[in-house]
Amino acid sequence: MNDQLPAEIAPTGRLLTAAEFQQLADVPPEVEWFQNISNRHTRRAYENAVKDFMTFAGILRPEEFRVVTRAHIIAWRDDLVRRGLGGSTIRHRLASVASLFEYLCERNAVTHNPVKGVERPKTESGEGKTPALGDHQARKLLEAPEADTLKSKRDRAILSTLLFHALRREELCKLKVKDAQHARKGVPHLKVSGKGGKTRYLPLHPGTQGLIHEYLEAAGHGTDENGALFRPVKNNTTGQLDNAITPDGIYKLVRIYSAQLGFEIGAHALRATAATNALDHEADIAKVQEWLGHANIATTRIYDHRRTRPEDSPTFKVSY
């Protein structure tokens, strides 16, 4: 048998030495699974969950995952409950470890997933815990940056982009100038780079478009198509102002303005507010799912706060 590779697929140059090739081939699948998670936020969450389980079970080496049984998982779950963790946190930690074992099953490193069949804490309700603002609060927040300064113009554009397009903080920070200049079928669109490298195009709200234009006129980087759309107005650390505003910067911006109005919230509440408002005004939930960039419609339902509206309570339907 000829053990030579065919000429058409034989490598023309080698990037790895034989030792390096073997070293990569010997990477345990447990380590390989973690290294394959590209999103840094997902990596951090999964890392925290797996480390917690390793500490509980006394696991020191990757290959020790291969002797874990369902009894170990149940004992860990019960310990999480005793420690007072919430149901959603426990479910997420179990899901993280389940993901690891699913990968090990695919690699034939284990025969089964010990997390399967382990009872998860029941959901507290079908709603998320992120609060949604009322319409009057949203209007006040949009008007909160009052001054005629570059910062106020930028902040008005940011708040409008969040409240009318339901972006995640990271998505807003990734926006480039050209991403606000797309036209599809003659309608201005916002090009959004979402989770998992997925891109979606959202019709750009006319009010938001006007605020972005006003901000770019004042900031002077409207022709820098490949540059960051939203930038810091001052940078005490590096002095550079051409980088994008950070997710932490967005978080602080929303907290400051909302606190001034008497209802301190995080930036994610604006995403919940936009989703709830769209559903309130009869938007199709499947369209809202696509708009939010959710892979599963069950996640979209978490943002549906319509059942909590006081004005819809039977209390106000009673008439004597």
Q: What's the pLDDT tens digit per position in 135-163? A: 899 999 999 999 899 999 999 999 999 99
Instruction: List the single range of 24-28, 33-37, 66-70, 296-300 with lowest mean pLDDT.
Output: 24-28
**Which residue has 């009869």 as its token pair?**
282
CA–CA distance from 293 to each of 30, 68, 142, 314 (Å)?
29, 36, 24, 34
Binned at pLDDT 50, 70 and 90, residue 2 comes out as very low
Query: So what's the pLDDT on residue 24?
Result: 41
State how far the Cα of 248 lies from the Cα of 301, in Å rounded to an integer. Answer: 27
State how far the Cα of 249 lies from the Cα of 255, in Å rounded to an integer. Answer: 10
pLDDT at 175 over 90: yes
Which residues 6+ apart lie within 8 Å of 183 measured at CB? 189
Structure tokens at 238: 């590096």
Question: How long, in residues, is the chain?
Answer: 320
Binned at pLDDT 50, 70 and 90, residue 301 comes out as confident
Write down the architecture of domain 135-307 according to CATH.
Answer: Orthogonal Bundle (1.10)
Task: Provide the percentage of residues in the chain whose pLDDT is more than 90.
Answer: 42
Query: So what's the pLDDT on residue 8?
Result: 43
Query: So what's the pLDDT on residue 230?
Result: 96
Q: CATH 1.10.443.10 spans which residues of the chain?
A: 135-307
Task: Give the pLDDT confidence of 91-111 residue by residue, as tens digits.
Answer: 889 988 998 888 888 878 788
Query: So what's the pLDDT on residue 9?
Result: 39
Taking every pair of Cα atoms in the chain, the longest distance, rounded to a whole number of angstroms, is 94
Q: For residues 147 and 245, is the Cβ–Cβ distance under 8 A? A: no
Residue bearing the bigger pLDDT, 239 or 250: 250
Binned at pLDDT 50, 70 and 90, residue 251 comes out as very high
Query: So what's the pLDDT on residue 29?
Result: 67
Task: Give the pLDDT confidence of 268-294 residue by residue, as tens digits.
Answer: 999 989 998 898 888 888 999 999 998
Taking residues 77-81, report their average pLDDT: 92
Residue bearing the bigger pLDDT, 134 or 257: 257
Query: So what's the pLDDT on residue 84?
Result: 85
CA–CA distance from 107 to each of 25, 185, 252, 287 (Å)?
13, 46, 44, 37
Cα-based torsion angle of the residue sequence 137, 143, 146, 149 in order, rounded to the nearest 10 degrees: 130
Which residues 6+ apart lie within 8 Å of 113 measured at CB? 98, 101, 102, 104, 105
State how far the Cα of 95 lies from the Cα of 116, in Å rounded to an integer. Answer: 10
Residue bearing the bigger pLDDT, 15 or 7: 15
